[in-house]
Structure 1
Amino acid sequence: MQKKTTCLSVVASLFLATNLYSQTEQLSSIEVTSSYLSSNEKTATFSTEIYTKDEIEKSKSKDVYDFLNSQTSINIAPNYGNTFTQKIDLRGYGIGDGYQNVVVTVNGRKLNNIDMQSQLLSSIPLESIEKIEIIKGSGSVQYGDGANAGVINIITNGKNDNYVMAHMGNDDTKGGTLSLGFNNENLIINALVDYSSTNGTREDSLNNKDSNHNRNRKVEVIYFPTENLELRAGRTLSDMRLKYAGPLTKDKYKNNPNQSNGFTEQYFNSYLTTLGTTYNLNENYSFDVNYNREDKLSKFVGSSESQYEYESFNTSFNIKKDNYSIVIGADTFDGDRIKSTNVTNKTNKALFVSADYQFSKDLKVSAGLRREKVEYDYNPSSGDSLSTAEYLNAYDVGINYSLSDSSSIFANYNRAYQTPDIDRFFSSTLTNVGGTWIETVSSFNGFIDSARVRNYTIGYNNIQKNNKLKVSIFRSELTNEIYYYKTGPFSGINTNIDKSHKYGIEIFDKYIINKNLYTSINYSYIISKIDKEDEGNGAYNGKDLPGVSKHNLTLNLGYTYKKLNTILSHTYRSSAYAANDFENNFDQKQEAYNSTDLSASYNFKNIELFAKIQNLFDRKNGLWISDDNIYPVNFERTYYAGIKYKF
C-alpha cells in the first residue's frame, strides 16, 4: 500500500533500528529520512551522524541541548546565561555566532530566526523525538539560507507512546510529561503535555535565584482518507519564563560560581500551526506540501518586547525510479519582527532541484542546485524606510562507492550561504544592567554582505553487526564570514571577515563488545582560521577564530544486564580563545570543558525507574566572552531521578 509511505514507513524504519540497538547484538545502516532523496548511512553522498529514539531515551538527557552537547559532535553553550535559547557550534564556526551557520529543523520546519535570537530548541520535548540526523557540510540545496556548516534535523513523526512520567532533582528541579497516542488503519492522533522547572543554581545578595519554567503542549492528527493521500495537521503551544544570571570575573568564578551580580528576566511564548499533505500519484510519483504559521513573543521583563510572525510554505514533486530519484521543489519564508519603534521583515523565496543516480550496484552519484531570493524591509515609526534584495545560489555534488556490503567511501562538494539577520544592519552599544550586558541598537551601519562557503568532504563508512565506524575529512573556504567588530570597549558594528577557512577530521566509532556491553567515541579535530580582514587593519589576519575548540570528544560506555541499563559518558572540549578575542591577545582564554555523566534505568513490566548524575566529578566550566566576563556553565554536580509508567 502507498498511503502510509511518508509517515508509517518512517515509523517502521525507526522501530527496526531501535530494536536492533536495544538487543545490543548488532548495528545496522540507518535510513536518512529527512532528505528528499532516499539513502542510508552507508550509501549517503555526504557526512551523516544519526541517533535513534532508543539512543536518545537511554541517555536520560534532561533536554535537547543536553543530548546534543553530551552525545554528539555539536558544541552547545547557554546564550550569555540563557539556557532556553542556547548557542550551537558545528564544524568550527565558533560558539559566538555558530548557531547562525547551521540550519535546525523539526520535521522539515526551520527553527532559525530572522534576528540574533538562537533557535528555540526548548520548545521540543526530548521525549517526543524519534530521531536526530546531523548532516555535515551539506543540506544547502534542500534548506538554503544558513546551512553553511550543515543541518540538524529533528524528527518527531509517528504515533506517540501512551505514558506518564515525572522526575525531581536538586535545586528544586521537577518536571513531568503526559503522552497519548492513538492509531488505526486510517488515523493517527497524538497529544503531549510537557512541563519542567527549577529554582536555579545561582543566587544574588538578596537571595534571588535564576529560576525558570518551561511548558509545551502539542496536538497532532495524521489522516489517510484514501490509499494514496495523507493529511497532517498540528498545533503546538510553548511558554517559558526564566531568569538568567550575568557574567563573573575570573576570581569570582573560581571562588564561587553560584553567585550573581544580578539577573535578566525573559518571557517567551510560541503558537505554532502546521498543515501538510502528501499525495502518491503511483509508486513512482508523489507531491508533498507543507505550511507553517508561528506567532512568537520575546519579552525582557521591565524592558523591550518583540513579536514575531513567521509563515513558511514548501512543496515538492518527487520522482522515484529503480535507479534514480529526482526532486523539484519550492519554498518560501516570510518573517516579521514587530517592535514599538519599527517593523522589520525578511523574506526568502527559493526554487531547487536535486537528483541521484545509481550507476551500478556499487556507484551512486547525486547533484542539486538552489536559487534563492532574500528581501529585507525596515519600517521605523519615524524616519525613512530601508529595503534591499539579493539572489544567491547553492550547489551540491556527491559520489558514494561501495567497497563491500559493509563499507563505502564518499566525496562531496557543497556551496552554501548565510544571509545577514536583521540585527546585523545596525551598530550597537553594550550596557551593564544589573550585572548583565544588554545590547542596544543605535544606528544603521549598512547592508552587509552575505557569507559564502565552499565545503569539501571525503569520508569512509564501515558498518558491521558489532561495529559502526565513520571517518570524514573536510575543508571549508569562506568569503564574507559575518561577525561583530568592536569599535570600542562597549560598542561595535556588524561586518564581514574577507576570507577565512576551516578544516578538520571527524571520527565516530561504536563497538558492541558483547550482548551486555558497548562503547562509542565521537571525536573531531578542527582548525578555524581568519585569512584576511581589512576592518581590523590586518590585526586579525592569520589568527584563530575565537570560541573554537580544536579537540572535541564524547565517550560512552554502556552496560545492559537484563532490565538494567547504565551509561557512563564524558564530554571534553579543549581550551580556545574567548568568544570576542579576534586578535588572540586577551589575558584570559576559554578553559577546557569537562563533564562526566552517569545515567541508569530499570524496567519492570510497564514501569521504568531512572536517574542521572551530571558533572559527576564537580568540575567548574564556563563560557569566556572576554577578560573577566565569564558565564558559568554546568559548573557543579547535579542530579535527578524519576519514574515512567506506560499504559
Structure 2
Amino acid sequence: MRKNTVISLTATLLAANISFAVPAFADSLQTYNLDTMVVTAQRESKRDVDTPASVTTVSQKQLVETGASNLFDALRLQSGVTTYSYGGSQSLGGMNAKILMRGANKGTVVMIDGVPANINETYYLDSIPVESIARVEIVKGAASTLYGSEASTGVINIITKKKMPNTLSLTKGEYGREKAALTLNANKLNFAVALEQSDPMKGYSSNYKQINDLNKKSFTASYKFDDNWSFSHQHNDSKYSYDQYDKTWSKLTEDANYHYIDDFSRLQYKDDSVSANLFYNRSNRRNQTYNVTGSKWTKSDHLRFDTIGLDLQKQITGKFGDVIVGTTVSRDSYKNDITVAKNIKPGTKINEFRTNYAVFAQLSKDLGAGYTATVGARETVVEANKRYNAFTPQFALLKKLDNNSSLYANAAKSFKMPTFTQIYGGGGANFAANPLLEPEEGWTYEFGYKKTSNTSMFKAALYYMDLDTIEYEGKGTSSNPYVTRNMSFKNKGLEMTYEKDFGSKYSYSLGANFCNPMGKNKKGVWERKFAREQYNAGIKYHDAKFNAALTGMFTTDRASGWGDLLPVNFIAGYKFDKSSSVELGVENIFDRNDIVSNPGSATKYYCLPRMVHVTYTYTF
C-alpha cells in the first residue's frame, strides 16, 4: 500500500473540503445523565429506569474516553458484549469484526438513526466516524418484535449528531496510523468525512497473513429540511490487504486485496406521533488475490447487495394505554458475478431477490400500583427461495419500586432468516452453500433490576436464551470448507453494571458478566462458545482544561482453551483555549498479545501491540 504522510493527507482534505475528525475533549462533546432517555428498546422515548429491557447508552464523550481508534474498538470495551475480529484491520474479506450479544454468534442488528444498516448479516463499525455520532444505544435480548429478522439477540442503534461542530483534526500514531479531519456545519447542512491509513504488520496471525494494511474513506452528510423532514447519506470506501507469507514470514506467496464500497441513504419524517423512514443500502464487494508462486490471479467473488425499504410507525395515546402500530416493507437483492463457493459450479452467476413484509403492534398499559404491562407482536412474511411466515410475540411487566428504581420481567420470541450467501453461496472458495437452511427461532427470558440517583446508576439482569441458530462448521480450507447448518444454542447468565460520579471531577464504572453459552454440534454434543466471565472497569477525571480516562475489560474462561483477554486503554486531553486542544491516547497499555478472533476459528488473530497516538484539534 502506498505510504502517504500526514501533510499530504491534510492537503488533500483541505483541497476537497473533506476530512476525518477525531473529537478531542472539547465543549462540543455531549454529556448525559446516568439515567438517560432511551428510544430503541420500545420505539419511543422513555427513561432507562422505566424501560423493561437491558439497555446501555454510550455518549460520544464516553466513546472518546475509551481511547479507541474507531467505533468497534470503543464498543468492545462496553459491559456485556462479546467481540471478535481479524487483527488490527478488524475485518478480513467477508469475515467482518462482530459485536455479539450474550454469546450468540449472530442476530445483532446495527441501525443508523433507527434504520437497519446490516447487509447480508455484516456491518463495518470500524468504518463509521465517531465524530458524527451523538450516542449509541445497545439493547440486549430478542428485539424481533419491533425490529424484525436481524434483531434476534440485540440491537446497536447509532444515533448521529443533528449539528456537527466545525473542527479540523490531525492524528499521528504508531505503525503508520494516520488520520486527518474536517467537520463542517452550514446551518441545515452537516458534513463529516474520514481518511485513515496504516502500515502492514507481520507476526500477528497463526496462518501467516499480515494485518493492519488498510486505507479507509468515509463521508457522511445530512440535511434538515424543516422540523420534520431530514435526509442523510453515508459512504464508506475501505481497502484491506492481507498478504500471505510462508512459515518464515520472509517469502510472499499471495497478495490478497479486498475493496468494499458501502452506501446508506435515509429520508426521514418525524412528528409527535408519526415516524417514517425510507432507506436504501448498497454494498459492493470485490476480492482479488494474486498467487505469487503460480504467477496468476485466483478466481474471486464480486458481490453486490441492495436493500430498499420503508418503515412506518404511529403512536396513539388513549385511556386504553400507549399503542405503537407500524409496518416494514423491504426488498433485498444479491448479485454475484463470479461465484466460487465450494459446492457451486465455478463462474456461476447469482441474481436472487427477497421481499419482506411485516406488521407490528405494541401496547403499554398502566395497571396501577406501580405496574406497567407491555404486549407486542409482529407478523412477518418473507418471499424468497420459498415462502416463510413468522409470528413473534413479546411480553414485559415492569414494577416501579419508587421514582428511581424498578423491577422488570421480559419474554420475547426471535426469528432470523438465513443470509443470501449462506443459501446460495459466495464469500470465497472455502465456503459452501446450503439451500436447505431454515430460519433461526427461539425465546429469550429476562428478569432485571434498575436503580438510579443523581450520581449513580446500578443495573442487574438475569437471562436465559434458547435458540435454534445457524452456525459455521469446518476449517475453512479447500478440503474442509466452512459449511452452515442449523444448530441449537442456549445461554444463561447474570449481568451487572454500576456507574458513579463522585465530586464534580471524578467518576468510575464497573461491570461483571457471568454466563455459559453452549452450542450443539453435528454429533448432538453440547460445546462451549466464547467466554464465561467478563469484567469491565473505568475511571475518569475532567475539569475545564484537562481530561483523562483509564478503561479496561478482562475476559476469562474462554472457549477452545484460549487465554485471557485484557485490553486496557488510556487517554488524556488538554484544552489550550476555546479553539485548540490536544489528546494523547495509548491503546493496549500492557502490550499484551491476546487472541482476538473467534474461539471456534482454526486461525488465531492477535491484537496489535501497544500503540500511542496524538491528536490535535482546532475548533472554529
TM-score w.r.t. the length of structure 2 is 0.84
Q: Specify the alignment match of 1:78 in structure 2.
A: 85
**1:64 and 1:626, CA in 2 relative to 1: closer, same or farther beyond 3 A?**
closer
Q: Distance in 1 between matches of 2:270 and 2:313?
A: 10
Q: Aligned pair count? A: 564
Q: Which amino acid aligns with 1:119?
A: Y
1:102 matched to 2:102: no
Matched, 1:244 2:226: no
Q: Give the Cα–Cα distance (whole angstroms) in 2 for the partners of residues 640 and 17 of structure 1.
A: 21
Gaps spanning 5+ residues in structure 2: where? 1-25, 290-299, 338-348
- Within the alignment, does 1:523 sit opposite 2:527 as a pair? no
User: Which secondary structure does the structure 1 equivalent of 2:566 belong to?
Assistant: strand
- 1:601 corresponds to which residue? 573
2:615 matches 1:646: no
Residue 30 of structure 1 aligns with an amino acid whose one-letter code is: T
Task: Name the CA shift for 1:207/1:573 in 2 (closer, same or farther; >3 Å).
Answer: closer
How far apart, in 1, do the equivalents of 2:312 and 2:228 lie?
14
CA deviation vs aligned residue, 1:331-355 (integer Å, no higher than 9, x gap): 1221212112111223221110112
202-211 vs 303-312, greater mean Cα deviation: 202-211
1:275 aligns with 2:247: no
Q: Is the 8 A contact 2:101 2:141 kept in 1?
A: no
Q: How does 1:157-172 map onto structure 2 within 5 Å?
A: 157-172=161-176
Q: Answer whether contact 1:427 1:494 (CA < 8 A) is retained.
A: no
Q: What secondary structure is seen at the aligned counterpart in 1 of 2:65?
A: helix
Relative to 1, partners in 2 of residues 1:574 and 1:321: Cα closer, same or farther, differing over 3 Å? same
Partner of 2:329: 332
CA apart distance, 1:161:
1.4
Taking the TM superposition and a 5 Å limit, the aligned residue runs for 1:34-433 are: 34=40, 35-79=42-86, 83-84=90-91, 85-93=96-104, 98=105, 100-114=106-120, 118-183=122-187, 188-202=188-202, 210-224=212-226, 230-244=228-242, 264-280=256-272, 286-302=273-289, 303-321=300-318, 324-340=321-337, 341-360=349-368, 362-376=370-384, 387-425=385-423
Aligned partners of 2:494 and 2:245: how far apart in 1? 33
* CA apart distance, 1:408: 1.1
- Report the alpha carbon displacement of residue 490 of structure 1 after superposing the two structures with TM: 1.3
CA displacement at 1:69 relative to structure 2: 0.9
Distance 1:120 1:627 in 2: 21
Give the superposition deviation at 1:319.
Answer: 1.6
Residues 1:639 and 1:550: Cα distance change in structure 2 (over 3 Å):
same
Instruction: Please state how far the C-alpha of 1:263 moved relative to its aligned partner.
Output: 5.2
Distance 1:325 1:177, change over 3 A: farther
2:516 aligned with 1:555, yes or no? no
| 1:371, distance to aligned residue in structure 2 (A) | 0.6
1:591 aligns with 2:563: yes
Deviation at 1:241, TM superposition (A): 0.7
Q: For residue 329 of structure 1, report the CA deviation from its aligned partner.
A: 0.6
Please tell me whether the aligned partners of residues 554 and 571 of structure 1 are also in contact (alpha carbons under 8 angstroms): yes
- Per the alignment, residue 508 of structure 1 pairs with 497
Cα–Cα, structure 1 residues 214 and 323, in superposed 2: closer, same or farther, change >3 Å?
Answer: farther
Sort the Cα spacing of 1:66 and 1:413 in 2 relative to 1 into closer, same or farther, 3 A: same
Change (3 A) 1:492 1:563: closer
Q: 1:279 to 1:195 in 2, by over 3 A?
A: same
SS of match in other structure, 1:70: coil
Task: Give the aligned residue type for 1:483.
Answer: E
Per-residue CA deviations over 1:415-463 (Å, capped at 9, x if unaligned) read: 11121112223589x9xxxxxxx54455x54321211121111111111
CA distance, structure 2, for counterparts of residue 600 and residue 149 of structure 1:
35
- The DSSP-based 3-state class of the residue aligned with 2:169 is strand
Q: Secondary structure at the match of 1:130?
A: strand
Alignment check: 8 A CA contact 1:596 1:616 kept:
yes
- Match in the other structure for 2:38: 32
Whether the aligned pair in 2 keeps the contact of 1:519 and 1:555 (CA below 8 Å) is yes
Deviation at 1:106, TM superposition (A): 0.8
Task: Pick closer, same or farther for the CA change 1:449–1:565 going to 2, 3 Å.
Answer: same
Determine helix, strand or coil for the equivalent of 1:550. Answer: strand
Residues 462-477 of structure 1 aligned to structure 2 (within 5 Å): 462-477=451-466
Contact 2:171 2:616 in 1 (8 A): yes
Q: Which of 527, 533, 555 pairs up with 1:543?
A: 527
> Structure 2: which amino acid aligns with 1:78?
S
Structure 1 stretch displaced more, 365-374 or 322-331: 322-331
Q: Could you tell me how far apart the structure 1 residues matched to 2:237 and 2:301 are?
A: 18
1:574 to partner: Cα distance: 1.4
Residue of structure 2 aligned with 1:576, choices 550, 555, 558: 558
C-alpha separation in 2, matches of 1:492 and 1:60 = 35
Change (3 A) 1:101 1:567: same
Deviation at 1:19, TM superposition (A): 6.3
Residues 450/402 of structure 1: CA separation in 2 closer, same or farther (3 Å cut): same
Contact 2:59 2:134 in 1 (8 A): yes
What code does the residue aligned with 1:122 have?
A: D
Question: Hey, what does 1:457 align to over in structure 2?
Answer: 446
Q: Distance in 2 between matches of 1:179 and 1:458?
A: 43
- What is the CA distance between 1:217 and its match in structure 2? 1.2
State the 1:240 CA deviation.
0.9
CA contact (8 A) 2:450 2:458 kept: yes
What stretches of structure 1 of length at least 5 have no aligned partner?
Answer: 1-14, 22-26, 281-285, 377-386, 431-437, 579-588
**DSSP-derived class of the 2:146 partner:** helix
Cα distance, 1:322–1:52 mapped onto 2, change above 3 Å:
farther
For the structure 1 residues 290 and 628, does the alpha-carbon distance in structure 2 shift closer, same or farther, using more than 3 Å as the test? closer
Q: From 448, 459, 482, give the equivalent of 2:470.
A: 482
Q: TM-score, normalised by structure 1?
A: 0.81
Deviation at 1:593, TM superposition (A): 0.9
Structure 1 residue 637: deviation in Å? Answer: 0.7
- Offset of 1:89 from its aligned partner? 1.5
Whole-angstrom CA distance in 1 between matches of 2:203 and 2:593:
17
CA distance in 1, matches of 2:402, 2:364: 20
Deviation at 1:31, TM superposition (A): 0.5
> Aligned partner of 2:373: which letter?
V
| One-letter identity of the residue aligned with 1:40 | R
Pick which of 449-458 and 616-625 moved more. Answer: 616-625
Report the secondary structure of 2:378's partner residue: strand
- Displacement of 1:213 in angstroms is 1.1
Q: 1:165: how far off?
A: 1.5
Task: Supply the distance in 1 between the matched residues of 2:613 and 2:319 (Cα, whole angstroms).
Answer: 50
Instruction: Give the superposed CA RMSD.
Output: 3.1
Preserved CA contact (<8 Å) 2:143 2:151: yes
One-letter code of the match for 1:137? G
Q: Distance in 1 between matches of 2:605 and 2:503?
A: 39
What one-letter code is carried by the residue in structure 2 that aligns with 1:574?
Answer: T
